[in-house]
Amino acid sequence: MRLFIAIQFPPEIVSHLETIQKELMRHTKSGHFVESSNLHLTVLFLGEMEATRLNMVKDAMRKITVPSFSVLLQEVSSFKTQEGRLYYVNVKKNDQLETIVSELKETLNRSGFSLENKEYKPHITLAREVVLQENFDLTTYCQSIPHKRVDVEKVCLMRSDRIDHQVVYKEVASRHLP
């Protein structure tokens, strides 16, 4: 099974992200937009894993020491991929979030997991393989997007499945922060 640890959003934040997506969509020639039910902030990608290792992940989540905190959603950015551009909402660098990532990696590495050791760049993917219309000024649009603060009270272990050619995320377990 394919797993990741994430922060899910309350309805008002999902609505905010959908509004951003809809505006991007209006100015897009092509692209694949993330379903609103799948909008999340990845904390740690685990990848393919046997079900026998689930308890180790749940145990690592129980060991998180960071209390509830908030993150700030910022502007829309993008980067080039082989298939096109990926558009996302930046999440401001946050010490509590960085600590959670570090604690999870440390605990899971001690349990024998082999995790990527790349810099954590928190973001919320909105769309992949995007080609914007030439007359759309992303910089001007980004300036019109209000920043939003989101309270983080739990982290979730998520499973990613492909059902009828659609990616579906399902919560497997969660950990409320102290």
Residue 28 — φ and ψ, nearest 5°? -115, 135
**End-to-end C-alpha distance for the chain, whole angstroms:** 29
The pLDDT score that the predictor gives to residue 170 is 93
Contact 89, 74 (CB under 8 A): yes
Which pLDDT score is estimated for 101?
96
Please count the other Cβ atoms lying within 10 Å of the Cβ belonging to residue 125.
16
Report the CATH number at residue 87: 3.90.1140.10
Tokens of 138: 């992303």
Tokens of 16: 């905010």
Averages of pLDDT over each 10 residues, the chain, 178 residues: 95 96 92 94 93 93 97 92 89 96 94 86 94 87 90 96 85 94
State which residues form the domain around 123: 2-176
| CA atoms of 58 and 159, how far apart (whole Å) | 13
- Listed in sequence order, the residues at least 6 apart from 142 whose beta carbon sits closer than 8 Å to its beta carbon are 75, 76, 77
Query: Tokens 């992303």 appear where?
Result: 138
Give the predicted TM-score (pTM) of the model.
0.91
pLDDT at res. 88: 96
Number of folded domains that form the chain: 1
Q: Are 89 and 72 in contact (CB under 8 A)?
A: no
Taking each helix axis from N to C end, the angle separating 95-110 and 54-62, rounded to the nearest 10 degrees, works out to 140
Both structure tokens of 171: 């919560």
pLDDT at 167: 83
Model pLDDT, residue 137: 87
